[in-house]
Chains A and B, each alone.
Chain A
Amino acid sequence: MPVDFVAVADGLLTGSARAPQLIGSECRRCGVVAFPRQGSCAACASSDVRERRLARRGTLWTWTIQCFPPKSPPYAGASDDFEPFGVGYVELPGEVRVEARLTEADPARLRIGMPMELVLVPAPGGDGEQTFAFRPVEER
């Protein structure tokens, strides 16, 4: 369970607001990692899977900018105050590529291969619930 924030859904997130972690699963038979947590392995069909907390850092594998308000439902946010947001897949080394919102929505500041870190952002249309996003890590 998250220690100091309310997640947008049960079973997705753990850790703290400063260091949130995604909850995935790992197949004990073939080692394949998935997110969100699965009851069986999509690669080898084994049901011998265990929970695995995923790495908080990875690299941007691909990205886009969501420029128009998604239809609601299923989107929980309002369309009148919509701001474009980034979406991408972030490769967590040796684990899995996770799809997530990005904190950066400027295409000029996104680049495949750049380092990214997991953070929390307010869930659209929520009442203080947090969802996950990746933010570019400052490169020195």
Chain B
Amino acid sequence: MSADAVAVVGVGIHPFGRHDGISGLEMAAVAARAALRDAGVAWQEVEFAAGGSDAAGNADTTVSVLGLTGVPFINVRNGCATGGSALATAHAMLSAGTAEIALVVGFDKHPPGAFDPRPEDWGLGSWYGATGLMLTTQFFAMKIQRYMAEHGISESTLAKVAAKAFENGARNPNAWRRRPLSEQEVLASKMVNHPLTQYMFCSPGEGAVALVLARGERARTLARAPVYLRSVAFRTRRFGSFEVFSPSIPIATAPSPTTEAAAAAFEQAGIAPDDVDVAQLQDTESGAEIMHLAETGLCEHGEQESLVRSGATSLGGRLPVNTDGGCLANGEPIGASGLRQVHEVVLQLRGEAGERQIAGPARVGFTQVYGAPGVSACTVLSR
């Protein structure tokens, strides 16, 4: 590791789910305090901060709770990549030598039910929403429907992905959905958008995550063994990528933003997908986890059917995926999701994941978050 490598030296989380009587900002402060405590760092020592939410306020308002220290704080609002973008910003500031210790925080608090975006915010006519086309769930269903036909993925595999998420969530005290559900229960639940049933989808929810990052000597001399943030990369869509909220898509296709962000993250880290011991992938619905497995390079397109059936992506498998239950068991507070993934990888690499600690050696972890209208952020972490 280079002398000025950037590492995650502290992690904190406010449990995900539904929490009446506590605001998103208050959850962010809980997570931030926990991360600072974990790192053994005082808030006064933090030299840079970045964070954000999609719908729960300005992240820098947390500083009034933590104490007004004059710290430079950048608010980030970048859809599902909010956490990843905040992390990329902090990583760049530390790498550039602007600061030695940074705090990153992501949080959110969404009302129940599907998201209800405004067409005008996405450059679309009001007719698009008025006629019933502006639903993220439709897009995910249509993307996996096509993918299943092209790559031979079965409905049973969709259900197995969801059942695995709830099995992992049951072992995670911070998860929202903690009741295991069988493959049969998932398949028998209410149809939402063919071929995806209710329990194959995550729900918008609430939660917060904070990370403390440090560079160089500081990273090596703090209380916790550093988990190195080997790379952070994020990309937006190219022309030809099949993305949400598209009234039309071209016939010529292009790689997805996830494919490009993952390739960039692996290249920057000098680590290959084969080296990954544990991965957290965006599983807005179970089809997304299947497609992202291949888009990130962790397997070949079509290989997921045998991979999932063999249990390779379960806790005891050779490539455990979404070990904390993912979005399916944790819900999706947009601003917090990407950082939850990093939080989980850090616990797994430290060997502190409790009942859900993976069986094999855990040296390299990978995370990928994806969102509308075609943005993806990936990280590679290692001990």
Chains A and B form a bound pair: yes
Whether A66 touches B142, Cβ cut-off 8 Å, given contacts A74-B129, A96-B251, is no
* Docked-complex contact A125 and B135, CB < 8 angstroms: no
Residues of B near A137 (CB, < 8 A) are none
* Docked-complex contact A67 and B193, CB < 8 angstroms: yes
User: Which among A32, A71, A131 has the highest number of chain B CB atoms within 10 Å?
Assistant: A71
Assembled-state Cα–Cα distance A92/B256 (Å): 22
Asked if A77 CB lies within 8 Å of chain B CBs, one says: yes
* Docked-complex contact A68 and B192, CB < 8 angstroms: yes
Residues of B near A75 (CB, < 8 A) are 129-130, 132, 134
Asked if A5 CB lies within 8 Å of chain B CBs, one says: no
Residues of A near B142 (CB, < 8 A) are 62-64, 87-89
* Docked-complex contact B130 and A8, CB < 8 angstroms: yes
Asked if B247 CB lies within 8 Å of chain A CBs, one says: yes
Among the listed A35, A64, A91, which residue makes an inter-chain contact with B145, where contact means beta carbons less than 8 Å apart? A64
Among the listed A70, A97, A107, which residue makes an inter-chain contact with B248, where contact means beta carbons less than 8 Å apart? A97
Residues of B near A3 (CB, < 8 A) are none
8 Å CB contacts to B: which residues of A2-35? 8-9, 12, 24, 32-35
Asked if B118 CB lies within 8 Å of chain A CBs, one says: yes
* Docked-complex contact B251 and A70, CB < 8 angstroms: no
Assembled-state Cα–Cα distance A64/B148 (Å): 13
* Docked-complex contact B131 and A131, CB < 8 angstroms: yes
Asked if A116 CB lies within 8 Å of chain B CBs, one says: no
Residues of A near B113 (CB, < 8 A) are 71
* Docked-complex contact A73 and B194, CB < 8 angstroms: no
A90 (CB) vs chain B CBs: closest residue: B248
Asked if A115 CB lies within 8 Å of chain B CBs, one says: no
Which A residues are within 8 Å of any B CB, using their own CB? 8-9, 12, 24, 32-36, 42-43, 61-68, 70-71, 73-77, 85, 87-89, 91, 94-101, 107, 112, 123-125, 131
